[in-house]
């Protein structure tokens, strides 16, 4: 008989904690949730105040029996599931199954899996927090109602198997809205005038750019305006009219939250959100390292707080001053977002002495990359600012103003270790100017007018979509990864390089939902509900009251939409491809592998075929057309239209005119298997519906 039974969520975490406690303490895993709403029905009794109908998850019967036996044999049971709302709800379900009274002092949480933290946390158990549990129940129930009520509309009007969700549908809407902005974008012409000048004293050359006239900025919109300016300044002398020298500081970014970790892992080490969270989970739960054994290397990875403990702050100070010197340390406190839950610290290393390169051999390549990112970000967050010397020079040529700006890095500070990445922003570089003084005469060496056009907004990447969701208050740290994973798996969006692009299916689904459920599928509603979940977690609101307030108008909308759409049929988009069997113009359909062509005469004519997309670069082997195809993982590859009949060209990379091509066995093997499978699936005759 064990004195203590501790139940955690994963076996890896169980093994780590067991090493720290030893003795007659038994540590077992629940393997995540053990009770949930049923998959076969909505599982929410709307007639009886939205009571959830929880059932034991299929396949977990033997595990539940084992947990009950272990609990019966133990003198005391502790529920040590993850320290968030989801973990609190799992603990509550475990307490129900194991007949643990609701007011029992049985709940333990670990913000980090280290020996010191685990042993200290075991000294301070508490009751299950029903406010946190109810916040999770509210999210689960509301999302189930939305999904089960809206999804059937998609089944009837688009195709079976589609799903709608409160957060996922808003994420798709953001991506579709951005694509619409791009499609409607009209580029506007603008010009810049750059002039290369020589300093008469040092003979050094530098570049200045046109600014305006009499200190006021002028935007140049046409070649005619450029020519007018060039005519006026032609032959004019350039004089320095003002020199401003200054010092600029660049401060480090805060330690990671879940969102910023996902964004940086995407930018810097090319991890998907799903991969980032999976690798982080392993680092949190425990890795075997020399001299310490199995230990959690980072704090809990689902957090929206930038707070760090004083102990961690002191450890960082010792490391920085010893490694880099006193001038590189600065004690920094970061302001946490007002909407953050702040239940946990920021994501940071648990042991500062475990530097990434020292334990590299104990980590997988992916663990090493992410751990190094987390470690360096945390240390840099407690370092001094980088300092630049800057100089801004105003120059006059006739009646027009030019400007030149220079900067040199004087003190690297935190940039010695880490610089935060940013989407669509170039890295700052040193720009050196000669020593200039007011009144200096400058010689024009070259003048270069450049035409440019405004660009449309960039498509979302996983990183920038997470940033947008966070800024708009949509979802929480635990929901970003599953939300984006779901809409990718549903084929509502797809990746092109790193960009998220809506598919035709995604556009159709989004249009249907936005037009018929505008009060639910919108950013404001989703953000408002998130705040209500926060209020439930803080004990300021009852969870069923939130569901009641939502359901009444939602039910009216559902009834109205079902009635209005009852006799509405969505017309298939007609292509310009003629069916070679019956002569009808083929239409676009959506299947498991995406868009394909089908004859509208089904079931009389069952002709169907894949859509072939080609590029404007000829095959580098035979000169024929090159097709774009996708593997089963939706990765693009390029193949000659004559492959395999008379040409063997196939490549991951888009061909370039004049480029030599060498066959790759790896490309041939994976893509050919995928191509055969996809082609076979798409062209299989559709089954006749049974009467």
Q: Which residues are catalytic?
A: 300
Tell me which residue of 151, 150, 192, 15 sits closest to 554, measured CA to CA. 150
DSSP 263-287: HHHHHHH---HHHHHHHHHHHHH-E
State the distance between the two ends of the chain, measured CA to CA, in whole angstroms. Answer: 61
157: left (phi over 0), alpha (psi -120 to 50) or beta: alpha
The C-alpha angle 334, 338, 341, rounded to 5 degrees, equals: 90
Distance CA 447, CA 238 (A): 12
Q: Answer yes or no: are the C-beta atoms of 519 and 556 closer than 8 Å.
A: no
Tell me if 491 sits within 8 A of 502, measured CB to CB.
Answer: no
Cβ(404)–Cβ(395) below 8 Å: yes
Beta strand 287-289 with 25-29 is unpaired
Cα angle 306-353-278, degrees, rounded to a multiple of 5:
55
Pick from 332, 289, 274, 262: nearest CA to 113: 289
What DSSP string describes 453-497? Answer: E--PPPPPBHHHHHHHHHHTT-S-TTTHHHHHHHHHHTTSEEEET
| SS3 sequence of 3-60 | CEEEEECCHHHHHHHHHHHCCCEEEEECCCCCEECCCCCCCEEHHHCCEECCEECCCC
The set of residues, in sequence order, having a beta carbon less than 8 Å from that of 155 and lying 6+ positions away, is 161, 162
Q: What does the block give as tokens for 110?
A: 């670990």
d(CA 380, CA 176): 37
Q: Are 360 and 301 in contact (CB under 8 A)?
A: no
């Amino acid at each position: 008989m064990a004195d203590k039974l501790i139940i955690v969520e994963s076996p890896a975490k169980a093994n780590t904690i067991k090493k720290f406690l030893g003795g007659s303490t038994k540590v077992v895993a629940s393997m995540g949730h053990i009770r949930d709403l049923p998959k076969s029905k909505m599982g929410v009794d709307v007639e009886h105040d939205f009571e959830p109908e929880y059932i034991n998850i299929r396949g977990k019967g033997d595990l539940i029996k084992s947990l009950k036996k272990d609990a019966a044999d133990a003198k005391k049971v502790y529920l040590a599931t993850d320290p968030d709302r989801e973990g609190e709800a799992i603990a509550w379900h475990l307490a129900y199954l194991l007949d643990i009274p609701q007011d029992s002092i049985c709940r333990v949480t670990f913000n980090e899996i280290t020996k010191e933290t685990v042993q200290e946390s075991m000294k301070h158990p508490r009751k299950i927090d029903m406010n946190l549990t109810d916040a999770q129940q509210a999210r689960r129930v509301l999302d189930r109602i939305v999904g089960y009520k809206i999804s059937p509309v998609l089944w009837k009007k688009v195709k079976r198997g589609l799903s709608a969700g409160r957060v996922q549908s808003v994420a798709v809407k953001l991506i579709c809205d951005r694509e619409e902005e791009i499609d409607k974008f009209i580029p506007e012409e603008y010009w810049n005038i750059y002039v290369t000048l020589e300093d008469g004293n040092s003979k050094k050359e530098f570049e200045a750019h046109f600014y305006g006239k009499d200190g006021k900025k002028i935007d140049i919109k046409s070649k005619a305006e450029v020519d007018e300016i060039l005519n006026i300044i032609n032959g004019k002398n350039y004089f320095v009219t003002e020199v401003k020298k200054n010092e600029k500081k660049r401060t480090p970014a805060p330690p990671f939250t879940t969102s910023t970790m996902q964004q940086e892992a995407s930018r810097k080490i090319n991890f998907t959100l799903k991969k980032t969270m999976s690798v982080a989970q392993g680092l949190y739960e425990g890795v075997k390292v020399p001299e310490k054994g199995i230990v959690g290397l980072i704090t809990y990875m689902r957090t929206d707080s930038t707070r760090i403990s004083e102990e961690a702050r002191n450890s960082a100070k010792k490391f920085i001053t010893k490694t880099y010197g006193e001038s590189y340390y600065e004690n920094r406190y970061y302001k946490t977002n007002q909407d953050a839950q702040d239940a946990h610290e920021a994501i940071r290393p648990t042991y500062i002495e475990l530097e990434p390169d020292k334990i590299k051999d104990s980590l997988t390549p992916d663990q090493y990359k992410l751990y190094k990112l987390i470690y360096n970000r945390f240390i840099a967050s407690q370092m001094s600012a980088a300092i630049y010397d800057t100089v801004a020079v105003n120059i006059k040529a006739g009646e027009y103003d030019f400007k030149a700006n220079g900067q040199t890095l004087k003190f690297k500070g935190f940039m010695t270790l880490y610089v935060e990445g940013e989407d669509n922003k170039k890295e700052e570089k040193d720009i050196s100017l000669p020593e200039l003084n007011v009144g200096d005469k400058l010689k024009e060496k070259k003048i270069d007018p450049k035409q440019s056009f405004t660009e449309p907004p960039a498509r979302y990447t996983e990183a920038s979509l997470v940033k947008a969701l966070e800024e708009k208050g949509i979802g929480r740290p635990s929901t970003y990864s599953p939300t984006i994973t779901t809409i990718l798996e549903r084929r509502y969006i797809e990746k092109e390089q790193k960009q998220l692009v809506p598919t035709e299916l995604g556009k159709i689904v989004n249009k249907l939902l936005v037009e018929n459920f505008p009060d639910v599928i919108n950013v404001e509603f989703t953000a408002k509900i998130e705040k209500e979940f926060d209020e439930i977690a803080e004990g300021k609101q009852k969870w069923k009251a939130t569901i009641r307030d939502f359901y009444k108008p939602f039910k009216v909308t559902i009834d109205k939409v079902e009635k209005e759409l009852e006799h509405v049929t969505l017309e298939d988009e007609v292509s310009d491809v003629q069916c070679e069997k019956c002569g009808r113009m083929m239409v676009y359909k959506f299947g498991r592998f995406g868009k394909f062509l089908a004859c509208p005469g089904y079931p009389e004519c069952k002709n169907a075929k894949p859509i072939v997309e080609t590029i404007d670069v000829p095959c580098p082997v035979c000169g024929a057309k090159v097709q774009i195809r996708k593997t089963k993982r939706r990765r693009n590859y390029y193949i000659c239209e004559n492959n395999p009949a008379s040409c063997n060209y196939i490549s991951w990379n888009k061909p370039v005119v004049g480029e030599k091509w060498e066959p790759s066995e790896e490309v041939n093997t994976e893509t050919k298997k995928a191509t055969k499978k996809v082609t076979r699936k798409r062209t299989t005759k559709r089954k006749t519906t049974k009467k």
